[in-house]
């Protein structure tokens, strides 16, 4: 009976993942002092075929109860570091007895809904935070997109829609704002198609191009399978 139950749970988990259009996966682990509060298991940021978006802790998730444990998506390794963060829990995590008794086990699959406005590449980390004590309880670093439909997902089709470049025309520098993803790659070409400037891992920032002469240039910015093209005018 026990073996049948384990197989059934595994089947449900695999079915959940394979039905997803696209997901990112990471391993949960304690960060500061794992002897005090061990954390383990697999975490997913998952977009499903029915349009729903969820953070999922798989069946192998295990930790112990702390003081008001909550789950966040974050662009930085820790909260309150100037990045973007989004809480996905509506209430503190419950232990296996349905309470919040310190050091009681919290195990098994957990699911948390994610707002429709979130894109798959918006965040890098899933964080468990002990809010009342302001302690980083555990963290998972999300990997690359996985899934057969990732390259055509509508949820990530508009990652450059809010991007703005100013000033344009410019002299020797311009600012990029409105990017919703990190780790973007930029290439600037002259009118003959020659690469004249490249820069990796850009985000919303100022770009300096003092070596470029006055004229018209084409800039591409790529993030994963997506790319946008802009015309630059240097005076």
Same domain, 135 and 227: no
Least confident of 24-33, 34-43, 158-167: 158-167
Same domain, 110 and 203: no
Indicate the pLDDT class of residue 15, thresholds 50, 70 and 90.
Answer: very low
> For residues 179 and 197, which has the higher predicted lDDT (pLDDT)?
197
Domain that holds residue 90: 20-141
Q: Indicate the residue among 141, 175, 208 that finishes a domain.
A: 141
Flag whether 128 is in a domain.
Answer: yes
Q: Kindly report the average pLDDT of the chain as a whole number.
A: 82
Same domain, 33 and 75: yes
Is residue 171 scored above 60 in pLDDT?
Answer: yes
Indicate the pLDDT class of residue 141, thresholds 50, 70 and 90.
Answer: very high
For 114, the token pair is 């994610």
Same domain, 28 and 135: yes
How many secondary structure helices (H) and strands (E) does the chain include? 1, 17
Is residue 51 scored above 50 in pLDDT?
Answer: yes
Flag whether 215 is in a domain.
Answer: yes
Flag whether 101 is in a domain.
Answer: yes
Dist. CA 191–CA 170, nearest whole Å: 17
Dist. CA 147–CA 160, nearest whole Å: 22
Flag whether 14 is in a domain.
Answer: no
Same domain, 95 and 57: yes
- Total domains in the chain come to 2
Same domain, 136 and 169: no
Flag whether 66 is in a domain.
Answer: yes
Q: Residue 9 — φ and ψ, nearest 5°?
A: -60, -45
Answer yes or no: pTM beyond 0.85: no
pLDDT at 49: 67
For the stretch 58-108, pLDDT in tens is 999 999 888 899 999 999 999 988 888 999 999 999 999 988 888 889 999
């Amino acid at each position: 009976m026990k073996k049948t139950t384990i197989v059934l749970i595994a089947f449900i988990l695999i079915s959940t993942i394979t039905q997803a259009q696209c997901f990112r996966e990471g391993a949960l682990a304690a960060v500061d002092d794992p002897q005090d509060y061990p954390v383990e298991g697999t975490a997913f940021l998952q977009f499903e075929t029915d349009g729903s978006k969820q953070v999922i802790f798989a069946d192998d998730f295990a930790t112990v109860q702390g003081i008001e444990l909550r789950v966040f998506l974050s662009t930085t390794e820790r909260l309150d570091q100037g990045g973007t963060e989004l809480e996905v829990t509506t209430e503190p995590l419950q232990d296996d007895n349905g309470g919040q008794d310190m050091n009681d086990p919290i195990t098994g699959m957990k699911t948390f809904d994610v707002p429709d406005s979130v894109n798959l590449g918006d965040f890098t980390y899933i964080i468990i935070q002990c809010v009342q004590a302001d302690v980083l309880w555990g963290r998972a670093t999300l990997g690359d997109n996985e899934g057969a439909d990732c390259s055509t997902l509508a949820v990530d089709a508009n990652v450059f829609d809010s991007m703005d470049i100013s000033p344009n025309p410019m002299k020797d520098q311009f600012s990029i704002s409105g990017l919703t993803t990190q780790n973007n790659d930029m290439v600037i070409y002259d009118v003959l198609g020659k690469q004249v400037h490249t820069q990796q891992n850009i985000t919303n920032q100022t770009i300096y191009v003092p070596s470029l002469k006055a004229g018209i240039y084409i800039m591409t910015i790529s993030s994963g399978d997506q790319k946008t093209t802009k015309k630059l005018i240097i005076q």
